Each structure stands twice: as C-alpha cells, then as structure tokens.
Amino acid sequence: MVVWWIKSRSLRVAIDYIQAHLNEKLTLDAIASQLNISQYHFCELFKKSMGMPPYEYVLRQRIERAKELLQTKKEMAIVDIALECGFANQTHLNKHFRKLTGTTPKAYRNG
C-alpha cells in the first residue's frame, strides 16, 4: 500500500489541511493538490488508510467541532455554530448531526 502512504506523512498533511480548513468549503482538488497527487489517488489512499472516504471524515470532524462548540459556547447561536463548522446553514447541520448522533444540536446542547 504505497509504503504506508509514504510513511503516513501524506496522511498527516491531508488531515492537518482538513482540520485547518474545516469551516471552509473543502474540495478534493484542494486537499489532493497539497499532496501533489490526483483526486482519485488521494481518495483511494485516504479510504484505505482511514477506513472511510474523505467526505465522511470531513463530515464527522465538522460534527465533532459542532459538539465542542455547543458545549463550550452556550451563548453562540446554533446557526453561527453551523457556519463556523463549515455547514451551509443550520438545516444542513441539523440533518447530519441527527444522522450521526441520533439527536439534534439543540437537544445535545441542553442535554
């Protein structure tokens, strides 16, 4: 497997880039260009290394960030948390938050 994805350096670069840009629109092209490889090759290597496609990883990281903000920034509106975490709007956050956690952001914050 491409020498553990070049000794995991490339994986670390990709993950660091994703974390640094979670609140932005992330594209496969932007991430793959950080590694100087094609989108296809990046997706294949990422999925083999992480056990999930890049989109799912980004989504899970955004939800984790939202959970953190919901607990630590009680005064922050949920719509602002959605935007801060890279979601298009609160509805988009609600949909994915419920799908991954089984509850809504509001219920999570109050629970």
Does 97 map to a domain?
yes
Residues 36 and 49 grouped into a single domain: yes
The pLDDT, as a whole number, for residue 11 is 87
Indicate whether 108 belongs to any domain: no
How many domains is the chain built from? 2
* Per-residue pLDDT tens digits for 76-102: 999 999 999 999 999 999 999 999 999
Place of tokens 């490339």: 10
Q: pLDDT for 30-68, tens place per residue? A: 999 999 999 999 999 899 888 999 999 999 999 999 999
Residues 8, 9, 11, 15: is their CA dihedral positive or negative?
Answer: positive
46, 65: one domain? no
> Domain check: are 65 and 48 in the same one?
no
- pLDDT of 12 > 80? The answer is yes
Given a contact cutoff of 8 angstroms between Cβ atoms, the answer to whether 66 and 107 are in contact is no
Kindly state whether residues 7 and 44 are assigned to the same domain: yes
What sign for the dihedral angle of Cα 101, 91, 105, 87?
A: positive
Residue 43 is part of which domain span? 2-53
| Tokens standing for residue 68 | 């953190």
Q: How far apart are CA 107 and CA 100, in angstroms?
A: 14
